[in-house]
Structure 1
Amino acid sequence: MRNIILGCCFFTTILSFGQMPKNKAQEAIVKQYLDSCAYKYNYTFQMSEWQNCIDEGLKKDNTIAYLWQQKAMPYFKCKKYEVGMPFLDKAVLYDKQEWLPYRGFMKCVFVKNYKEAIQDLEESIKLYGNGYRMDHPYSFYIGLCYLQLNEYDKAEKLFDDYVNDIYKNRQQLEHPTAYFYQGIAKYELKKWDEAIAIFDKALKIYPQFSDAKYYKAICLFKLGKSKEEITTLAASAREDAAKGFTLNEDNTIYETYPYQVKFTK
Structure 2
Amino acid sequence: MIIRFLCSFALYISCIAAYAQPHYTPADSMRAKAYWDSSWNYGLHSREHQQYLDSALMVIPTHAYYWQQKSMPLYKMYKYQLAIPYLDSAVKYDPHRWMPYRAYMRCIFEKNYRGALADFYTTKAQYNSLYVMDHPYDFFIALCHLQLNNFDSSSHYLHLCIDERAKKHGKDWVHHNHLFYLGITQYEKHNYTDAIATFDDVIRIAPQFADVYYYKAICQYMLRRYADAKASIAKASAYYTQGYTIREDGALYEPYPYQVRKYFIQGMEKALKDVK
**Range class of TM-score, shorter chain:** 0.7 to 0.9
Q: Which residue of 2 aligns with 1:93?
A: 92
Distance of aligned partners of 1:71 and 1:199 in 2 relative to their CA distance in 1, 3 Å threshold: same
Structure with larger Rg: 2
Tell me how far apart the structure 1 counterparts of residues 168 and 128 of structure 2 sit (CA, whole Å). 16
State the superposition RMSD in angstroms. 2.0
Per-residue CA deviation, residues 30-49 of structure 1 (Å, 9 max, x unaligned), is 64233x222232133xx211
Aligned residues of 2:187 and 2:195 also touching (Cα < 8 A): yes
Q: Which residue of 2 aligns with 1:262?
A: 261
Aligned residues of 1:30 and 1:67 also touching (Cα < 8 A): no
Aligned residues of 1:177 and 1:248 also touching (Cα < 8 A): no
Q: Secondary structure at the match of 1:214?
A: helix
Where structure 1 has 5 or more consecutive residues not aligned to the other structure, the ranges are 1-22
Per-residue CA deviation, residues 49-77 of structure 1 (Å, 9 max, x unaligned), is 11111111111101110000000001100
Structure having the higher helix fraction is: 2
Distance of aligned partners of 1:222 and 1:71 in 2 relative to their CA distance in 1, 3 Å threshold: same
Aligned residues of 2:158 and 2:181 also touching (Cα < 8 A): yes
Aligned residues of 1:130 and 1:137 also touching (Cα < 8 A): no
Correspondences of 1:30-69 after superposition (within 5 Å): 31-34=33-36, 36-44=37-45, 47-69=46-68
Scaled by the length of structure 2, the TM-score of the pair is 0.82
Aligned residues of 1:211 and 1:247 also touching (Cα < 8 A): yes
Per-residue CA deviation, residues 87-141 of structure 1 (Å, 9 max, x unaligned), is 0000000000000111010000000011111101111111124511111111111
Aligned residues of 2:202 and 2:212 also touching (Cα < 8 A): yes
Aligned residues of 1:118 and 1:145 also touching (Cα < 8 A): yes
The total of aligned residue pairs comes to 239
Per-residue CA deviation, residues 193-251 of structure 1 (Å, 9 max, x unaligned), is 221121112111111100011111111112221x2221121011011111110012121
Q: Could you tell which deviates more after superposition, 168-177 or 208-217?
A: 168-177
Q: Which residue of 1 aligns with 2:12?
A: none
Aligned residues of 1:155 and 1:185 also touching (Cα < 8 A): yes
Return structure 1 stretches of 4+ with deviation > 2 angstroms.
Answer: 23-34, 171-174
Per-residue CA deviation, residues 136-159 of structure 1 (Å, 9 max, x unaligned), is 111111111111111111001011
Offset of residue 80 of structure 1: 0.5
Tell me how far apart the structure 2 counterparts of residues 132 and 69 of structure 1 sit (CA, whole Å). 18
Q: Which residue of 1 aligns with 2:246?
A: 247
Tell me how far apart the structure 1 counterparts of residues 117 and 159 of structure 2 sit (CA, whole Å). 18
Tell me how far apart the structure 2 counterparts of residues 203 and 216 of structure 1 sit (CA, whole Å). 10
Correspondences of 1:156-171 after superposition (within 5 Å): 156-170=155-169
Letter in 1 for 2:210: S
